[in-house]
Amino acid sequence: MGFGWWKLFGAALVGILFFHGFCGAETAPNFSFMHNATTAPDISYYDYIIVGGGTTGCPLAATLSQNYSVLLLERGGTPYGNPNITNVSAFGRALSDLSPTSPSQRFISEDGVINARARVLGGGSCVNAGFYSRAATDYAREAGWDTRLVNESYQWVERLVAFQPPIQAWQSAVRAGLVQAGVVPYNGFTYDHIYGTKVGGTIFDLEGHRHTAADLLQYANPTGLTVLLHATVHKILFRTKGKSRPLAHGVVFRDASGTKHRAYLKSGPTNEIIVSSGALGSPQLLMLSGVGPAEHLRAHNITVVVDQPLVGQGMSDNPMNAIFVPSPIPVEVSLIQVVGITHFGSYIEAASGENFAGSSATRDFGMFSPKIGQLSTVPPKQRTPEALAKAVEYMNSLEAPAFRGGFILEKVMGPISRGHLELRTRNPNDNPSVTFNYFKDPQDLERCIRGLETIEKIIESKPFSKFRYDYLSLAALLNITANSPINLLPKHANVSRSLDQFCKDTVMTIWHYHGGCQVGRVVDYQYKVLGVDALRVIDGSTFIYSPGTNPQATVMMLGRYMGKRILDERLASDGN
Ligand SMILES: Cc1cc2nc3c(=O)[nH]c(=O)nc-3n(C[C@H](O)[C@H](O)[C@H](O)COP(=O)(O)OP(=O)(O)OC[C@H]3O[C@@H](n4cnc5c(N)ncnc54)[C@H](O)[C@@H]3O)c2cc1C
Ligand SMILES: *[C@@H]1O[C@H](CO)[C@@H](O)[C@H](O)[C@H]1NC(C)=O
Ligand SMILES: *[C@@H]1O[C@H](CO)[C@@H](O)[C@H](O)[C@H]1NC(C)=O
Ligand SMILES: *[C@@H]1O[C@H](CO)[C@@H](O)[C@H](O)[C@H]1NC(C)=O
Ligand SMILES: *[C@@H]1O[C@H](CO)[C@@H](O)[C@H](O)[C@H]1NC(C)=O
Ligand SMILES: *[C@@H]1O[C@H](CO)[C@@H](O)[C@H](O)[C@H]1NC(C)=O
Ligand SMILES: *[C@@H]1O[C@H](CO)[C@@H](O)[C@H](O)[C@H]1NC(C)=O
Ligand SMILES: *[C@@H]1O[C@H](CO)[C@@H](O)[C@H](O)[C@H]1NC(C)=O
Ligand SMILES: *[C@@H]1O[C@H](CO)[C@@H](O)[C@H](O)[C@H]1NC(C)=O
Ligand SMILES: *[C@@H]1O[C@H](CO)[C@@H](O)[C@H](O)[C@H]1NC(C)=O
């Protein structure tokens, strides 16, 4: 405790990485079907055109390519050979790269919370924290899914990309603390979503290599699939003449040099365009194509194809709040491994340590680093570029011991609070405007408070005692997390602040935002867009609530699941 406490406090912002032997950049698999969009013909024809080679788009394309010709259009590049993506100890580096070629595109919601969306083949699974956990069986039932095919589809995904994480001392202490805090039973290592405490899966293997949704393209039929990179879709084309409803029949996309290309559906009654552009990209693309709230579209001079007022509605982001717990002894570097699934609608997870092997340039990327936009020391609306820069500068000045410790976080299930998305411009490269309305519904706030109370019990539990300073009360820990010296802006410096104020002031994202093309509102239960033909949306934008403790397992599963459903339906109706 010789070093200044105030320095330790600064670590409330810092990084979490694990630290396994690393074996060099992965080489690209032999994807003969993957091309730069600049090489694409001006016009081409396919049975299926999928917009967005992300977490859902890749497994979907791989599956449909088995029997049909499929074009997968992805605005970003390849994840292979990029150590910022494939190397676990580089977690956060892609998220802090703000260049136009970065695999991640930062956005800031109108709420003021800094957030990120993927821009790379493999989508969110290339930049995320890797935790892998299925949705509850009830979730699948409520979604109207066939639970047998759901299980098979999860297994199809898991064969290639899911692993059991190695649990070390700090994560073990959190796990034991969760059990002592009453989050029982202990269910061991499992992908399943069951009440109690468990160890979940990860898409990082034991050597620290990330496996992504792009790897699921190994399942593809290489003669049935064309993947185009750096292909940004600007518009879905509809045919209306002589049709009872507008019929989607093609897309316009631009390559990296700005050249326009068109891809059309081959004639055939069941060929389709499928939008898998993510929770921001999918509602945005529908609107850019004339499917959305008529008045809003007209305000942007977009010709209305169908007035669909619910496109862009139902946007949610699960609030995340974390408490930083400084440790008197060294901790391992870990991303999320253990989770507590409570009965009151809050999920407890944790991440520890910091990769201190390198220089200050490599040490400070983690789940809670201001470099990736995470800033709990100032309330959302005050998270200005200046506040962020100040936090980064301060963090770079800290010594190694200041980073010793970990974050225990809670994520609000659901959530119930909802917001909306609108276009800012007609350029698909620009972020739309998004509002999530964190904690607008009092039940979300209640779940946050109960989550924090459980975290307090974990911190105070016997198994966790060696990783905390006895004399630091919860109030002091909250003060550290919410009020470190990095915050030089005026705010309520009130240690005895209520937990509800803490929830609101320190809310961050865990990047599980969803909605915008919700099932039952914008698409039907077969994910077909209401009011038009030959168009589906399949991805996280269709969710009413975020599935499981963390969504990616279910997002990948959904790509496989819907691919199988479409093949099966078509086999039954076409007989070919
Ligand atoms: C930093 C971060 C950490 C996370 N941590 C976890 C975690 O640990 N565990 C977990 O389960 N989940 C995690 N998630 C959430 C999870 O990764 C996402 O929910 C999931 O990846 C979303 O999948 P999607 O298919 O809906 O969208 P995406 O994977 O984002 O795919 C959409 C794709 O469409 C492309 N696209 C968009 N518009 C266009 C266009 N006009 N033309 C062409 N292409 C376009 C995008 O480039 C992108 O590749 C995290 C997410 C982030 C960002
Ligand atoms: C992976 O990360 C580790 C730790 O930061 C680093 O030592 C190693 O060089 C990285 N590998 C590559 C290929 O960048
Ligand atoms: C890659 O795949 C193509 C087509 O499947 C094949 O012709 C080629 O030999 C493969 N190359 C390597 C290096 O395996
Ligand atoms: C794709 O082509 C464009 C234009 O020729 C080029 O600028 C870009 O570097 C290429 N990208 C890749 C990944 O080859
Ligand atoms: C990795 O990320 C850093 C910033 O975080 C960036 O400067 C660098 O160019 C990136 N490297 C690649 C290969 O994208
Ligand atoms: C999924 O299927 C496997 C193999 O049939 C079975 O062992 C397992 O219990 C199933 N899981 C669920 C959640 O149904
Ligand atoms: C829409 O078109 C009108 C008339 O050409 C123009 O004045 C207006 O600026 C345009 N609005 C937008 C948002 O492009
Ligand atoms: C709370 O944090 C602020 C800022 O670091 C500090 O000045 C203050 O003394 C702390 N209060 C307590 C009671 O720890
Ligand atoms: C500090 O918080 C307590 C309890 O929430 C409240 O009663 C008090 O008015 C607050 N003081 C200030 C200065 O905000
Ligand atoms: C795929 O095509 C093969 C060969 O034409 C056919 O036997 C099979 O039934 C088809 N499967 C599906 C799911 O369409």
Residues 125-133 have a mean pLDDT of 97
Q: Quick one: pLDDT band at residue 3, thresholds 50, 70, 90?
A: very low
What distance in Å separates the CA atoms of residue 460 and residue 469, rounded to the nearest whole number?
A: 10
CA 496-501-505 angle, to 5 degrees, is 115
Least confident of 101-115, 119-133, 377-391: 377-391
Q: 494: closest CA among 506, 507, 478?
A: 478
Q: 222: Cβ below 6 Å to ligand 3?
A: yes
Distance 12 CA to ligand 8 centre (A): 13
What distance in Å separates the CA atoms of residue 128 and residue 2, rounded to the nearest whole number?
A: 36
So what's the pLDDT on residue 483? 61
* Alpha-carbon dihedral 530, 48, 45, 236, rounded to 10 degrees: 30
Mutate to test the pocket of ligand 7, among 301, 304, 430 (most ligand atoms within 8 A of CB): 301
- Portion of the chain with pLDDT greater than 90, in percent: 78
Atom 9, ligand 2: which residue's CA is nearest? Answer: 24
Q: Quick one: pLDDT band at residue 360, thresholds 50, 70, 90?
A: low
Q: Is 11 left (phi over 0), alpha (psi -120 to 50) or beta?
A: alpha
Least confident of 71-85, 329-343, 462-476: 462-476
For residue 50, is pLDDT > 90? yes
Q: Judge whether 230 and 75 are in contact, CB under 8 Å.
A: yes
Q: 32: Cβ below 6 Å to ligand 3?
A: yes
Q: Judge whether 431 and 107 are in contact, CB under 8 Å.
A: yes
Main-chain dihedrals φ then ψ at residue 218, nearest 5 degrees: -60, -25
Distance 156 CA to ligand 6 centre (A): 12
So what's the pLDDT on residue 364? 55
Q: 73: Cβ below 6 Å to ligand 1?
A: yes
CA atoms within 13 A on the CB side of 128: 26
pLDDT tens track for 147-158:
999 999 999 999
For residue 42, is pLDDT > 50? yes
For residue 11, is pLDDT > 70? no
Q: 573: closest CA among 274, 275, 272, 273?
A: 272
Question: Which two tokens mark 275?
Answer: 């939008």
Higher pLDDT, 327 or 171: 171
Least confident of 265-274, 383-392, 430-439: 383-392
Q: 256: closest CA among 453, 76, 494?
A: 76
So what's the pLDDT on residue 340? 98
So what's the pLDDT on residue 28? 62
Mean pLDDT of the residues in the chain: 90
For residue 62, is pLDDT > 60? yes
What distance in Å separates the CA atoms of residue 15 and residue 524, rounded to the nearest whole number?
A: 42
So what's the pLDDT on residue 473? 80
Least confident of 204-213, 369-378, 434-443: 369-378
Q: 358: Cβ below 6 Å to ligand 2?
A: yes
Q: Judge whether 366 and 354 are in contact, CB under 8 Å.
A: yes
Atom 9, ligand 1: which residue's CA is nearest? Answer: 131
Residues 124-142 have a mean pLDDT of 97
Give the predicted TM-score (pTM) of the model: 0.92
Distance 147 CA to ligand 6 centre (A): 10
Q: Give DSSP secondary structure letters for 173-207.
A: HHHHHHHHTT---EEEE-SS--SEEEE-EESB-TT
Q: 547: Cβ below 6 Å to ligand 1?
A: no
Residues 282-309 have a mean pLDDT of 98
- Is-catalytic flag, 35? no
Please give the annotated binding residues for FAD, written as ranges: 55-56, 120, 233, 511-512, 540, 551-552
Distance 73 CA to ligand 10 centre (A): 24
One-letter amino acid at 489 equals L
What distance in Å separates the CA atoms of residue 264 and residue 399, rounded to the nearest whole number?
A: 57
DSSP, collapsed to helix, strand or coil, labels residue 105 as strand
Q: Judge whether 366 and 352 are in contact, CB under 8 Å.
A: no
pLDDT tens track for 242-251:
999 999 999 9
Atom 12, ligand 4: which residue's CA is nearest? Answer: 36
* Domains in the chain with CATH codes: 2-23+84-133+163-204+316-418+438-509 (3.30.410.40), 34-78+212-312+513-535 (3.50.50.60)
Q: Quick one: pLDDT band at residue 202, thresholds 50, 70, 90?
A: very high
For residue 339, is pLDDT > 90? yes
pLDDT tens track for 482-511:
665 433 223 444 444 588 888 999 999 999
Distance 495 CA to ligand 9 centre (A): 8
Residues 37-54 have a mean pLDDT of 98
In the set 230, 420, 512, 514, the catalytic residue is 512
So what's the pLDDT on residue 474? 79
